Chain A
Amino acid sequence: DGGITQSPKYLFRKEGQNVTLSCEQNLNHDAMYWYRQDPGQGLRLIYYSQIVNDFQKGDIAEGYSVSREKKESFPLTVTSAQKNPTAFYLCATRTFLGNQPQHFGDGTRLSIL
């Protein structure tokens, strides 16, 4: 979606390495989310944040960390504790005005070297 930028598009991680995925938005949306999608499977929620300096764990937060220091930015760090990080990572945003849907960035594909 326009206004949500994820980078990089492709990322390779070495064993024992932490990597950070970027998600930036200029939509002035309140909430930001990180999902993981494995081949042939649905989206699983990792973390979400409704306001700056606050975030909540989703269903599969172990091995991941996030921060929300600015409204526009919600980076996701995949730590070495995440033993199976290979997946498609999607960032989404949403405004709280009305029952609005989420909008997605174009994703980051993470693989293990």
Chain B
Amino acid sequence: RKEVEQDPGPFNVPEGATVAFNCTYSNSASQSFFWYRQDCRKEPKLLMSVYSSGNEDGRFTAQLNRASQYISLLIRDSKLSDSATYLCVVTQNTGNQFYFGTGTSLTVIP
């Protein structure tokens, strides 16, 4: 079983829509959780960390559900510039190894 699993999509949504991605992880001892954004042919860039109580950064909201072992990312009022691949990342043990999902592709349509 993979350490981290994501629905690859693609998700095609109109501008202004709300879209949510989930990511499941297999190890209940996982410590830290992050969402990264990766544009085509570019490096991943940190979008936000995911905290136990949930956290929000502008139009983006991240949630962690330890009981069900998943994290989620909600994007409100989608912009064309939100089109990218979103990677969820989980760390385990001492936090020195990072496990990346394969990414969820989002296209925001005018």
Partners in one complex: yes
Are B97 and A90 in contact, with the CB atoms below 8 A? no
- Let me know if B101 and A101 touch, CB within 8 A: no
Q: Are B91 and A99 in contact (CB under 8 A)?
A: yes
Main SS at interface, chain A: strand
| A43 / chain B contacts, CB cutoff of 8 Å | 44, 87, 100
B binding-site residues for A, Cβ under 8 Å: 31-32, 34, 36, 41-46, 49, 87, 89, 91, 95-98, 100-103
Q: Give A113 Cβ to nearest chain B Cβ, in Å.
A: 20
Q: Size range of the interface on A?
A: 20 to 34
In the A-B complex, the 5 residue pairs with the closest CB atoms: A42-B102, A99-B32, A104-B43, A43-B100, A101-B34
B43→A105 contact, CB < 8 A: yes
Q: List A residues at the B interface (Cβ < 8 Å).
A: 1, 31, 33, 35, 41-43, 45, 48, 50, 88, 90, 92, 99, 101-107
- Say yes or no: A102 contacts B98, CB within 8 Å: yes
